[in-house]
Structure 1
């Protein structure tokens, strides 16, 4: 066992140069992060086994800590090294994602909360604080029925995103980790910490509305690719829910953001989106985008799949 730990420790310390080459947050210290990584892997027999079987994954995970700018410090609860799909992966918590957004100036603060059946909850618009009242000490709040994330932007605006528990579970059911738990009983974050994963899922959806920063984009991209947490894409052959509709149009706006010629699409489209409290609002958002038809067509070309059409406030 000691030889195994020594092997993995050497692999981790050998990443010093690559860690420094991609470091995005100078407050991170290689020595401390290396120790956190060694403690995490050596403290779990299964993690150590996977690390030895796939040593390159350990190197990749530690390097990603620097590239994304997130810490393994257990006191911060931002990120963890976990065994998944035969490799060691860097897993970023919902707290880590919100901390990244705040550290990069995208938002001033963020809060993610679960809503229980006995709670009193009211959504007052996407651009306002929701009303959520409950007894935090009650043992009879009922089952979880949803989750929400509210942030305050650097401009002082509030942005709120909500998801029902059915929407969260739909995404959970399509994850490889959950499928392995159902089929083989293999523990995963969805089985051990469902509340935390629900918040994380909502944060990953909500960030599409937030001002963009490279580090946050990198973290989300990592989770959706190497991290194996990709959100399901809207299907072209089935009706979509209003929340999916939001994702489609926001995704379109993000493509537009990358083009200087379409900067007004982003500005006016975002303003319209903040007012879109229903499907009719989404239709108005479409109008804002549609005014720039030819330029929009060029910007939307890379987007896979067909866009959802909205007419008279209903989705076909």
Structure 2
């Protein structure tokens, strides 16, 4: 009788516990981190079929970022790379906001999507401001924009607004045919404006690395070669302590698994 894959996963995870514990911040206990990992795997069984080393690398990246792969702070998503399933760690909006608060430079940081029936206006110049009154009916219409507002410790406010065509331009750079943009599109829209806004905010170096974490999920070569499209940063700092398999080094034709 073949082994239960969940039992095998749990056994491997227990062996890696010392490495995870060394990477985790003090406020996240290893027992909690392991429970969240198991819940994530049980919620998305496709992770059981991922290359095991990539799965543990994704978990290690989450630990080093000091975030939980709980679907809110971040998520571990299965991708198909050169015919082989690999796992990818993706920080989410709640995770970015949490790290920003912990960095101490930002008091509050929020981001929202704007729908067709919402009342929305914004101005730049000497007195920049955003006014947004969401429509409370059952049909708000399509998303037409997303925005981010940050209040710094000194009281200064910073804004970023992206129209839907700008957001779609970023979405089209994604290497994924199916994945987070299909599963939770508004979350990814909010994250897109958050990422752009982050480049003009005072961040610590580790938070900057976190914001750039999922650069590898986008076709940055295409963005650099298209002068009409705003470029994304292409430098990445490798956080994983275990090497990726050779197949995972080239993600040009990667396809996430829904």
Question: Does the alignment pair 1:222 with 2:213?
Answer: yes
Shift of 1:139: 2.4
Question: Does the alignment pair 1:8 with 2:5?
Answer: no
State the alpha-carbon separation in 2 of the partners of residues 104 and 41 from structure 1.
30
Q: Which runs of 5+ in 2 are unaligned?
A: 235-258
Correspondence 1:111-260 to 2 at 5 A: 111-125=110-124, 128-135=128-135, 137-177=136-176, 180-181=177-178, 188-225=179-216, 228-229=217-218, 235=224, 238-239=227-228, 244=230
Q: Which runs of 5+ in 1 are unaligned?
A: 182-187, 252-316
Q: Conserved in 1, the CA contact under 8 Å of 2:173 and 2:219? A: no
2:198 alignment partner, SS class:
helix
Correspondence 1:96-107 to 2 at 5 A: 96-107=95-106
Q: Conserved in 2, the CA contact under 8 Å of 1:70 and 1:96? A: yes
TM-score, normalised to structure 1's length? 0.65
* Higher share of residues assigned strand: 2
State the alpha-carbon separation in 1 of the partners of residues 225 and 87 from structure 2.
34
* Higher share of residues assigned helix: 1
1:35 alignment partner, SS class:
helix
> Which structure's relative contact order is higher, taking Cα pairs within 8 Å and 6+ residues apart?
2
Q: Conserved in 1, the CA contact under 8 Å of 2:36 and 2:69? A: yes
2:78 alignment partner, SS class:
strand
State the alpha-carbon separation in 2 of the partners of residues 239 and 173 from structure 1.
14
Q: Conserved in 2, the CA contact under 8 Å of 1:125 and 1:160? A: no
1:13 alignment partner, SS class:
helix
TM-score, normalised to structure 2's length? 0.79
2:93 alignment counterpart: 94
* Deviation sequence 1:235-294 (CA, Å, 0-9, x none): 466345xxx39x89xx9xxxxxxxxxxxxxxxxxxxxxxxxxxxxxxxxxxxxxxxxxxx
Q: Conserved in 2, the CA contact under 8 Å of 1:114 and 1:148? A: yes
Distance 1:141 1:216, change over 3 A: same
Distance 1:230 1:155, change over 3 A: farther
Distance 1:2 1:35, change over 3 A: farther
Distance 1:121 1:79, change over 3 A: same
